[in-house]
């Protein structure tokens, strides 16, 4: 090529350079933009977040009306398909979400999508991309992350409802450890037949039967001593059930038994009169007149 009046390409124009990996600053900036958008917009409808706001098991925030529209949409519709891509099977009903109750104080910044300003009810610090926030299941009250860590008793400071340590859900988490914990929690609740809101999942009867079967197997493996100890009260209960329940019948039966026992005593102690005559009664001395001479006993001897 050449000498035809055209341009001669250079090597840097023909060989494309490999794409450079993003720097740490670029990654941090992109993550901040993503967090800012997630804190202000619903991922289903891309509309600004406005109360009532709900969250799924991974701490993602949605408008409640957007969730309702997704659940009511027809199968196969474009809205349903797009919603399933966003939710990834995490929300199949309203039991799979928890309404997050934020403390509202004034209006948000002009650059934010939502109009409300969410603050922690304890520290009064604004909750958003710059501050870590959590909410408690099942009541849904939101606080700054440091507040829940400092409270010794696992009780909501807003409504005094008790909660478990694993039911503290970080809002829009970015730390891999938090995301892994939330995934494990969702899996554990599913095995127990519960939803993210700690309510019974639809069709959890089979799981309940399985749990009952496993508990029965565990009971079958108990020691023989435990079985004997458990059988004793049952035996007493059966005896009580088979016993006499009517008061009058019990009284007559008791009387008959007492009379029968008395007759048995008399039969054992009773003796013939002839046999009794052979034994002396009390301390009475024997009559010596009849025992002068055993050779003449029974005969009368006349006196001189």
Task: Report the alpha-carbon distance of residue 105 to residue 124 in Å, rounded.
Answer: 9
User: What pTM was computed for the model?
Assistant: 0.61
DSSP at 170:
E
Listed in sequence order, the DSSP H helices in 73-192 are: 78-87, 145-150, 176-191
Determine which helix (DSSP H) or strand (DSSP E) holds 104, and give its type and residue range.
strand 103-107
| Among 195, 202, 203, residue whose Cα is nearest residue 95 | 195
Which of 70-74, 140-144, 213-217, 244-248 has the lowest average pLDDT?
213-217
**Can you tell me the distance from the alpha carbon of 68 to that of 79, in angstroms, rounded to the nearest whole number?**
12
29-64, pLDDT tens digit by residue?
888 899 999 999 999 999 999 999 999 999 999 999
What was the pLDDT predicted at 244?
46
The whole-chain average pLDDT of the chain stands at 79
Confidence of residue 304 (pLDDT cuts 50, 70, 90): very low
DSSP bridge pairs for 53: 63, 100
pLDDT tens column, 195-210:
999 999 887 654 445 5
Q: In what order do the strands lie in the sheet with 61-63?
A: 61-63, 53-55, 98-100
Average pLDDT of span 167-187: 94
Cα separation, 137 vs 142, whole angstroms? 10
List, for residues 117-160, the tens digit of each pLDDT value: 999 999 999 998 888 899 999 999 999 988 888 888 889 999 99
pLDDT above 70 as % of the chain: 69
Residue 181 token pair: 């914990």
Give the tens place of pLDDT for each residue, 227-282.
555 555 554 444 444 444 566 677 777 877 888 888 777 766 665 555 556 556 55
pLDDT at 65: 95
């Amino acid at each position: 090529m050449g000498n035809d009046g055209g341009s001669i390409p250079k090597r840097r124009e023909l060989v494309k350079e490999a794409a450079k990996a993003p720097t740490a600053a670029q990654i941090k900036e992109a993550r901040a933009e993503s967090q800012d958008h997630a804190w202000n917009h619903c991922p289903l409808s891309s509309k600004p977040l406005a109360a009532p706001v709900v969250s799924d098991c991974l701490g993602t925030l949605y408008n409640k009306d957007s969730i309702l529209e997704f659940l009511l949409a027809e199968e196969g519709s474009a809205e349903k398909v797009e919603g399933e891509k966003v939710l990834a099977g995490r929300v199949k009903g309203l039991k799979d979400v928890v309404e997050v109750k934020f403390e509202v104080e004034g209006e948000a910044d002009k650059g934010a999508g939502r109009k409300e300003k969410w603050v922690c009810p304890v520290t009064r610090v604004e909750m958003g991309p710059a501050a870590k926030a959590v909410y408690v299941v099942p009541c849904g009250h939101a606080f700054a992350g440091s507040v829940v860590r400092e409270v010794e008793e696992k009780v909501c400071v807003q409504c005094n409802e008790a909660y478990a340590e694993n039911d503290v859900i970080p809002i829009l988490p970015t730390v891999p450890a938090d995301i892994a914990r939330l995934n494990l929690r969702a899996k554990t609740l599913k095995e127990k037949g519960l939803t993210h809101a700690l309510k019974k999942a639809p069709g959890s009867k089979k799981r309940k039967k399985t749990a009952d079967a496993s508990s029965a197997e565990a009971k079958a493996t108990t020691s023989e001593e435990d079985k004997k100890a458990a059988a004793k009260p049952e035996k007493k209960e059966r005896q009580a059930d088979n016993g006499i329940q009517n008061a009058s019948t019990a009284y007559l039966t008791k009387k008959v038994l007492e009379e029968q026992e008395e007759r048995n005593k008399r039969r054992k102690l009773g003796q013939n009169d002839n046999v009794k005559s052979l034994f002396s009664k009390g301390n009475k001395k024997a009559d010596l007149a009849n025992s002068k001479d055993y050779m003449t006993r029974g005969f009368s001897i006349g006196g001189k």
